Chains A and B, each alone.
Chain A
Amino acid sequence: MNPSRHQRHWVALSTLVTREVRRFFRIWPQTLLPPAITMTLYFIIFGNLIGSRIGEMGGFTYMEYIVPGIIMMAVINNAYANVASSFFSAKFQNHVEELIVAPVPNYLILAGYVAGGTARGLCVGIIVTIVSLFFTRLPIEHIFITISMVVLSAVLFAIGGFINAVYARSFDEISIIPTFILTPLTYLGGVFYSISLLPEFWQNVSLLNPILYMVNAFRFGMLGVSDIPVVAAFSIILLFIGGLTAFALYLLHKGTGLRN
């Protein structure tokens, strides 16, 4: 008996996700090891050496305060980088054609790559969390908020990485956005400080930064403190996911960067 269309779709999606996950595990020295080392350095330098002189923030030691932000930073950077580099490589080596000629609907192509990026983001998140346990205790106040926020953030940045890869024409173009947009927004997104430390004007400017909402909602899930309302964080992230998904599907439908 021939499999139904739904069964075929499920096989296609699981094949794509398996390939993506196999890819980042195969090149673990490039994908999983560097964030573990970088984040360990953050914990040692900012958390231990400098943090011990800063004192408390939001009622927690500085190390405890920055851990959620550092985990979130690792997750979003890696979710983004995974899809951007994997999809761009597929374009660059032309093996994206394997997918285009196959009966795989566009939404499954997007879902497969985003699932792969999310998986790497979460793997790195788990690694960084384990590393952080060597430096501090890790309370989790609201498990549902913690898990849902980290998953949604990984999904959102994986979609962002996909759009970046669709437009990219060279490897340089997949590093421009992480370097000039993502990294500044992350560093200014309340990873290392509470925005209550800023003058009122800069507090208001910070509220325009979507990463601030993700970091704070995640911190709320773990520590129970946040600079912003958690509902606003969920609303914003869902809105961005909806908007960027629609845009990515539009690009796939048009064949932007993929078909002549």
Chain B
Amino acid sequence: MKALSINKLSKTYRNGVQALKAVSLDIQQGDFFALLGPNGAGKTTTIGIVTSLVTKTAGSVKVFDTDLDDDPEQAKSYIGLVPQEFNFNGFEQVKHILITQAGYYGMPAHEAEPRADELLKQLGLWEKRHSPSRSLSGGMKRRLMIARALVHNPKLLILDEPTAGVDIELRRSMWTFLRKINAAGTTIILTTHYLEEAESLCRNIAIIDKGEIIENTDMKSLLNRLDKEAFILDLKYPLLNNDLDGLDFERLDDTTIEVEISRGESLNSMFEILSRHGVEVVSMKNKANRLEELFLNLVETSEQSA
């Protein structure tokens, strides 16, 4: 079953900006899906329409086969949203925020209270349950937004840049949490600027640019398209040569170089060249942001063809 089906969705704002141009997208139940794109590409507008925060100009949205126009209540009941910006009542207590949100979804207080307690404990907010939300740190507010989105047990969780401004430790713990709830059956759609995050978490991906989907595939196939792989090498001594027998490299500092190897090419030949020139390698790592390179390539190609 499709968790989300978007068909020819368009949005033109009053100022004439065409944010979405007949976007179509299907996301299967149980998926962990990344929606990527540069700033202003149309990601938040798409999410806004799906969650009823933005009115569409044309097209249709179905959530678990329920059309958002025909039965908005049913369609909305499936969705939990973690928006990009904090949107709490700053004066309301943390636990009240969760119980109130559950109430809006028809969950009575005697059910909402234990659910809120469970989420507050899981997300490390238990100690702050009686504090007003404005007193929370940035990371805590992000976690509270996740707890609020999950309090009514949604089948589809949409996260719009959930880890923006969050330190790496907290980001990793949020990833673990999201993986867990995805494994438990919740479909997740994620927009993020951290491409490493999308690469690490998501199975399928769509890239949107200037209101159009320019790529929609599974993460593995997309990464396989990379024809080159980059490695960072730490050297024992500063590199004196500028030419290493045609090896494609870039000097990052005196003792660090980045080497690009064609996919499928043996690493042995690279080491042979380096040995020949007396270059001693202390350590080597794969350059992490493989998706970033692809993303930039795709967006650049889209800009050139526009």
Which residue on chain B has the smallest CB distance to residue A9? Answer: B106
Residues of chain A from 73 to 101 with CB closer than 8 A to chain B in the complex:
89-90, 93-95, 97-101
In the complex, are the beta carbons of B100 and A19 less than 8 A apart? yes
Which residue on chain B has the smallest CB distance to residue A7? Answer: B106
In the complex, are the beta carbons of B53 and A98 less than 8 A apart? no
In the complex, are the beta carbons of B106 and A8 less than 8 A apart? yes
Give the complex CA separation of A259 and B54 in angstroms.
5
Residues of chain A from 97 to 111 with CB closer than 8 A to chain B in the complex:
97-105
**Mask for B30-52, Cβ within 8 A of A = 1, else 0?**
00000000000000000010011
Give chain B's interface residue range (CB within 8 Å of chain A). 20 to 34
In the complex, are the beta carbons of A95 and B103 less than 8 A apart? no
Tell me if A199 is interfacial: C-beta within 8 Å of chain B: no
Contact of B105 (CB < 8 Å), options: A8, A22, A100: A8
B contact face: mostly helix, strand, loop, or mixed? loop
Tell me if A37 is interfacial: C-beta within 8 Å of chain B: no
In the complex, are the beta carbons of B54 and A260 less than 8 A apart? yes
Instruction: Name B's A-contacting residues (CB within 8 A).
Output: 13, 48, 51-55, 72-74, 76-77, 79, 81, 83, 85-92, 96, 99-101, 103-108, 148
In the complex, are the beta carbons of B55 and A97 less than 8 A apart? no
In the complex, are the beta carbons of B83 and A14 less than 8 A apart? no
The residue in B81, B96, B103 that gathers the most chain A C-beta atoms within 10 A of its C-beta is B103
* Chain A residues bordering chain B, tally (CB within 8 A): 31
Question: How far is the CB of A54 from the nearest CB of chain B, in Å?
Answer: 45
Question: How far is the CB of B85 from the nearest CB of chain A, in Å?
Answer: 7
Question: How far is the CB of B213 from the nearest CB of chain A, in Å?
Answer: 21
* 13 pairs, A vs B, C-beta closer than 8 Å: A14-B103, A16-B103, A26-B91, A95-B89, A97-B53, A97-B83, A98-B148, A101-B51, A101-B76, A101-B81, A102-B76, A102-B104, A104-B104
Give the complex CA separation of A12 and B76 in angstroms.
14
Which residue on chain B has the smallest CB distance to residue A258? Answer: B53
